[in-house]
Amino acid sequence: MLRVCSLGSGSGGNALVVEATDGLATSRVLIDNGFNLRQLVRRLERAGLAVEAIDAVFITHEHSDHSAGVAALAFRHNVPVFCTAGTAAACGLDEQTLTWTRIEAGQLVELGALRMEPFAVPHDASEPVQFTFSDGVRRAAVLTDAGECSASILDALVGLHALVLECNHDARMLLQGAYPPFLKQRIAGARGHLSNDQAAAILSQIDRTSLGGRSPTSSGATSATYRCSISRSGSTGARSDRRKHEGPARPALHLR
């Protein structure tokens, strides 16, 4: 079973829980955390989850409403962090500050029953990605913080059973609104955010292409597959292992 739950979205913070269950075990990850720990815990509780139930956190990009709460979550609750090299650099993550593991657009990441595939998006950030998810039967995706649609985005959004899609603004209201010109340009630009019309256009296209779905196993991954087994032993050994940058992307990754 594949389940997706938004803990909140907007300039005040973003976080999304994705979980997959294969009948034996559940894998559960957080996509972004722009909330402080207290907020995150409260929002997780509302969803019936404890923070200890989160196996890993993936960062889509460095903007603070997506990343501000990641370090506290990692340090206080020993949650492994996954992100692109560009995101890590922009967030100031290094071997001295925080464990993180590199992911790349187009690579399949497997965490127990959960398969994830990051895909690149045009946004004014350093190597930003968004994600598709699958439990091997159902397929879902999240698409926020993208300035425009692209062929690669549409490729990623094929065969979806669920989509979390940001509809950021009405183009005319943005133009006539009170934001300063530079901010209007940034939001409406090709590396800004999707307008409502752009989001609707994406929906109309994937409505045509994804009906009937496709096999989640033919997800179009072009490079290495990660197979991750993550434990949260809380032991000092496990903790110290994770405080190192895991280095460049490798074909197989075992964190246990």
Contact residues for Zn ion (CB under 5 A)?
63, 145
Shortest reach from residue 192's CB to Zn ion, in Å: 9
Q: Which is nearer to Zn ion, 147 or 159 (CB)?
A: 147
Shortest reach from residue 74's CB to Zn ion, in Å: 20
Q: Which is nearer to Zn ion, 64 or 222 (CB)?
A: 64
Shortest reach from residue 19's CB to Zn ion, in Å: 24
Shortest reach from residue 125's CB to Zn ion, in Å: 6
Q: DSSP string covering 101-157, please?
A: EE--TT-EEEETTEEEEEEE---SSSS-EEEEEESSS-EEEEE-S-SS--HHHHHHT
Q: Which is nearer to Zn ion, 56 or 59 (CB)?
A: 59
CA neighbor of 117 nearest in space, from 148, 149, 152: 152
Shortest reach from residue 126's CB to Zn ion, in Å: 11
Query: Whole-angstrom distance between the N-terminal and C-terminal Cα of the chain?
Result: 24
Q: Which is nearer to Zn ion, 43 or 63 (CB)?
A: 63
- 227 SS3 class: strand
Torsion on CA atoms 213, 217, 222, 228, rounded to nearest 10: 130
CA distances from 132 to 52, 66, 69, 101 (A): 24, 17, 22, 18
Q: Which is nearer to Zn ion, 147 or 216 (CB)?
A: 147
